[in-house]
Structure formats: structure tokens, C-alpha cells
Amino acid sequence: MSEYVIEMCNITKKFPGIIANDNITLQLKKGEIHALLGENGAGKSTLMSVLFGLYQPEEGVIKKNGQEVRIKDPNDANALGIGMVHQHFKLVHNFSVLQNIILGVETVRGGFLKMDAAREKVMALSEQYGLKVDPDALIEDITVGMQQRVEILKMLYRDNEILIFDEPTAVLTPQEIEELMKIMKGLAAEGKSILFITHKLNEIKEVADRCTVLRKGKYIGTVNVADVSKEEMSEMMVGRKVSLNVEKDEAKPKDVVFEVEGLTVVNKEHGKKVVNEVSFQVRRGEIVCIAGIDGNGQSELVQAITGLIKADHGTVKLKGEDISHSSIRHRNTHGLGHIPEDRHKHGLVLDYPLSYNLVLQSYFEPEFCQGGFLKYDKINQYAEKLIKDYDIRSGQGGKTIARSMSGGNQQKAIVAREIDRNPDLLIAVQPTRGLDVGAIEYIHRQIVAERDKGKGVLLISLELDEVMNLSDRILVIYEGEIVADLDPKEVTIQELGLYMAGSKRKGAQ
């Protein structure tokens, strides 16, 4: 019997203009949590998609328990006991939790669905693994953390033994991440074997037994997590020393560039104020961070400021001008830059080439447009300049379709587009969500550089390390209200957590 439950031997996978996996070997032991670490675009998700049957490799073989197997599609993978939770969940939003879990493996008798046995099995699994869910809730009504539990239960319902988690914590709050780590340890203790794609070094240190590192599609090495430091792992991953702390000088705030007064947003469905009388200022030369647990009104606040939704009352002023009722384009052309929370929904047109995405906010300017016709040469030249300046990695340059790029490079494209427009106020919402240490370091440097050029920066983040390291001032939002105005040099992470949970308040300026 082989010591490894899964072996991927010498896997090579190519796409147009790029070798995503270049002769990679990965070995997973039974009952271990094995992390797969690498920068965005290093080939981690591609390798796991090969194992799950979504892609066919050009070269290499896959073995299960020492026997060579062919995995032509996800049904083959499931038959071999391999399950996968994707980074962007594959759930049907208007189906219930139970319907999603059994989708594709339903019990049917005489043309009718038999749900009772399925419900019993799902409830037994949720009890056994501490994955509490409401089987009758609709997916669209439950939190992202709950949706992830549904994805995990889908795998367990199919009796999968090998569980692949692709960036499982990218969209979770700190509390949900802690929960997930417990669940993963429990699954491994039950004898499941877990492959865990991530680029968060803290998480690897906390749960993984071994870690395989990929860089630019190549295999770098496999290490025992207990024997290496986070710094050593980040160096293997990026190929150079990476600063895990944000390096910045003292802020030198100048005049007020942005002001929000009494901003209120009422949720049309349940009539509750999701943003309640919020007032604050941002000065030139400072980074003000709005910190809070997800779902406390941050998204609605940003949408009201940027014009994506209408505020019910209150004013928004940019450089002294009231822009509360201005169009989105007016806000964008008059000094507002916006790195949105959801890069797929609000940041990019995924089926457009990269070059078009880089001029989404400025294609109508005379530089790129004449008499209603686009100047393609100018757009392509501009795109090539940004690709070079911001190190956006794409297989075919400006022609690359945005959807085919890695998450980190999609994010870099948005950062490049927004910063290059030279805004007076940069609103950065979760700017490093789901990114690796190299990309995080890069984006943090860009944000600090904007501050140092005398721009105002409004940062909205759920990552406590980012909040503490990057901010000059922290405003804590809880249930739609600003409950504290804090100096990151004088507050601890634990204290910040208490404000975020609503158990502490301090008058905000």
C-alpha cells in the first residue's frame, strides 16, 4: 500500500501564451492537511482543477493509493472520493441549503425526489463535524461563512475522502476563519486528507502539516510546516525577501479633502437603517480606515459615497463640492478613485480584454476617443504602459481576457486603473482580499505612496493586521454607526476587536 493517498506526478498544463503547471509533483498523505502555497498566478488553482477533473494535463499521471487513475471530469473525481470547495462557491442561490447539498446525487423513486433520508444524513453530518446549518434556508439569505459550510457538507455528503479547499478564507471574517480552522482539524482527525490552497502564512502555521510551494508554475519544494518560519516560506514563494510589515513614515495630514455628514441609508426591504447618521472627514496625506466585522454597513456606506446606491439623507463633499446627488461618472472625473469590494461584480468586465478594462473610467476622454470612435492604438499603448508600471502578469498582454487572469493580477489591474487617474480621494475596499504576500506588499506600497503624494485615502478592510499596519486613523463601524475614532499606535488588536463586536464605544470625532 502506498504511503500517499494521492500523487500527482510531473503534471504539465498549458494555456495560450503560458505554462500554468510546469512538471509539478505533489504527494498527499492520508489524514494530513497539506498546504499549497504560491503567489497569485503561480498555478495552484490550475493544479487542483487538474486533480478535480476540470482540466486535462498535457503531461503527467495521477495516482490514488499507488494506482494510476484517469480523471476526465468532476464526476470521475467524486467517484474516487475527491471533493473541492472552489474559491467562488458553486451554489444555486434560489435553492435551499439541503437542495444544494444533494444536487446531482439526488435519490429519486418513481420520478419523485426522496428528501427525508437525505435530510437525516445531512443533519447527522452537520452534527458530527460541527457544521451547523439550517437545511431549509435559501442560499441567498445566509452569510458567506454559512455558504462555505454548505460547500463542505456537499463534499461530506458524497463521502469524499480527499478534500480540496481553494482559498477557503478569502471571503471570511476573522471569527469565521477561526471556525473553519477548527473544522479542518476535525476533518483531518477523522481521517480525511486535505489539500489547502492559500497564501496566508498564519493559517498554514496554524493548521497545515506540510506545505508545497509553487512559483510561476514551477515546483519549488515541500517543507514540514513546524520546521520553517513564515519568513522562509514567503521567500520560497516570492523568490526574494518580503517585508511582512508595512513600511511608512509618519502621516502629515493637510486640509480636509473629503467630508461625510449625517449619511443615512435605509434598507428598502426591512426598513432598517444600515448606515445611521455617519459623519467623518479625510484629510490629504492620511489613510483613514473604516474597520468592522462584515455586514455592519461598510458596503452600503461605500456604495452611497461612490454613487452606486442613493443615500436617504446626509451630504458627501469632495474638495468642498457637494457630490451627494452627482452621477457616478461625475464623481469619478472630479477626483474620486474606487477599488471596489467585489472585483468581479463592480471592478471589471470579465469578458473584455485587459486593455479595455484599464480604460473603463476614461475611454470617453479625448486621449482615447474622437468623434465617438475609440482610438485603439492609444488604448493599447496606455494598457502596455500600465501593465509594465504595475507589473500586471497576463499571458497575452493587453489582449488577455480579464476572466482568464489570476485574482491578484485582476486586482493589480483595478489598482493601476484607479491610481493612474490621479484621484484626490482613493477609496480602497478590501484591496488585498485573497492576495498573496508579494501582491499585498505591492498594493500596500501603492496606497502609502498615494498618501505621501498628498492624496486622501479611505480604506475599508476586514483584515485586522492590514487595519493596524496601514491606517493613520481607525474609525470602527458597528451596526451602521461609527462607534470609535482610534489611533492605531495606541490601540491593541484585542481592544479593536471589542469595539468591532460592539462591546465598547468611544466618541468618534
For the stretch 472-507, pLDDT in tens is: 999 999 999 999 999 999 988 878 878 887 776 765
**CA-closest candidate to residue 80, choices 57, 60, 64:** 64
Instruction: Return the pLDDT at 88.
Output: 72
Last residue of a domain, one of 238, 266, 287: 238
Above 70 in pLDDT, residue 324? yes
Above 80 in pLDDT, residue 241? no
Residues 360 and 386 occupy one common structural domain:
yes
Mean of pLDDT values over 303-326: 94
Instruction: Return the pLDDT at 509.
Output: 39
Residues 305 and 275 occupy one common structural domain:
yes
Instruction: Return the pLDDT at 116.
Output: 86
Instruction: Please say whether the beta carbons of 360 and 343 come within 8 A.
Output: no
> Is residue 341 included in any domain, yes or no?
no
Mean of pLDDT values over 444-468: 92
* Interacting residues of 296 by C-beta distance below 8 A, sequence separation 6+: 477, 478, 479, 480, 500
459 pLDDT band, cuts 50/70/90, is: very high
Per residue in 238-274, is it b (16+ CB within 10 Å) or e — as a string? Answer: beeebeeebebeebebeeebbbbbebbbbeeeeeebb
Above 80 in pLDDT, residue 361? yes
Residues 379 and 494 occupy one common structural domain:
no
Backbone angles phi, psi at 299, to 5 degrees: -60, -45
Instruction: Return the pLDDT at 364.
Output: 93
- Per-residue pLDDT tens over the stretch 245-254: 777 888 889 9
Residues 312 and 225 occupy one common structural domain:
no
53 pLDDT band, cuts 50/70/90, is: very high
> Is residue 460 included in any domain, yes or no?
yes
Above 50 in pLDDT, residue 169? yes
> Is residue 440 included in any domain, yes or no?
yes
**What whole-number percentage of the chain has pLDDT above 90?**
54
> Is residue 392 included in any domain, yes or no?
yes
Residues 233 and 257 occupy one common structural domain:
no
Instruction: Please say whether the beta carbons of 286 and 253 come within 8 A.
Output: yes
- Per-residue pLDDT tens over the stretch 174-228: 677 888 888 889 889 989 999 999 878 888 999 999 999 999 899 999 999 999 9
244 pLDDT band, cuts 50/70/90, is: low
Residues 81 and 101 occupy one common structural domain:
yes
For residue 219, the tally of other CB atoms under 10 A from its CB is: 20
Q: What end-to-end distance do the CA atoms of the chain give, in Å?
A: 67
State the residue range of the domain holding 184.
4-238
One-character DSSP codes across 67-124: EEE---SHHHHHHTTEEEE-SS----TTSBHHHHHHTTS--EETTEE--HHHHHHHHH
Length of the chain: 509
Mean of pLDDT values over 362-376: 93
How many independent structural domains does the chain possess? 3
Residues 170 and 100 occupy one common structural domain:
yes
Residues 396 and 311 occupy one common structural domain:
no
Cell readout for 45 is 488553482
* Interacting residues of 195 by C-beta distance below 8 A, sequence separation 6+: 6, 26, 28, 34, 36, 48, 51, 162, 163, 164, 165
Lowest mean pLDDT among 136-150, 203-217, 311-325: 136-150
Above 90 in pLDDT, residue 349? yes
Above 90 in pLDDT, residue 106? no
Give the side-chain half-sphere CA count within 13 A for 187: 31
List the Cα angle 251/254/257 in 5-degree steps.
110
Cell readout for 477 is 463601524
143 vs 348: CA distance, rounded Å: 24
Residues 172 and 145 occupy one common structural domain:
yes
> Is residue 328 included in any domain, yes or no?
yes
Backbone angles phi, psi at 280, to 5 degrees: -165, 170
Mean of pLDDT values over 454-465: 90
> Is residue 435 included in any domain, yes or no?
yes
Mean of pLDDT values over 27-35: 94
Strands, DSSP E only, in 75-156? 82-85, 108-109, 112-113
Instruction: Please say whether the beta carbons of 56 and 207 come within 8 A.
Output: no
Above 90 in pLDDT, residue 275? yes
Residues 291 and 391 occupy one common structural domain:
no
The domain spanning residue 315 has which CATH number? 3.40.50.300
> Is residue 342 included in any domain, yes or no?
no
Residues 21 and 138 occupy one common structural domain:
yes
Residues 356 and 480 occupy one common structural domain:
no
Last residue of a domain, one of 198, 223, 238: 238
DSSP symbol at 249 = P
Cell readout for 353 is 480584454
> Is residue 340 included in any domain, yes or no?
no
Instruction: Return the pLDDT at 173.
Output: 65
Above 70 in pLDDT, residue 262? yes
Last residue of a domain, one of 404, 422, 440: 422
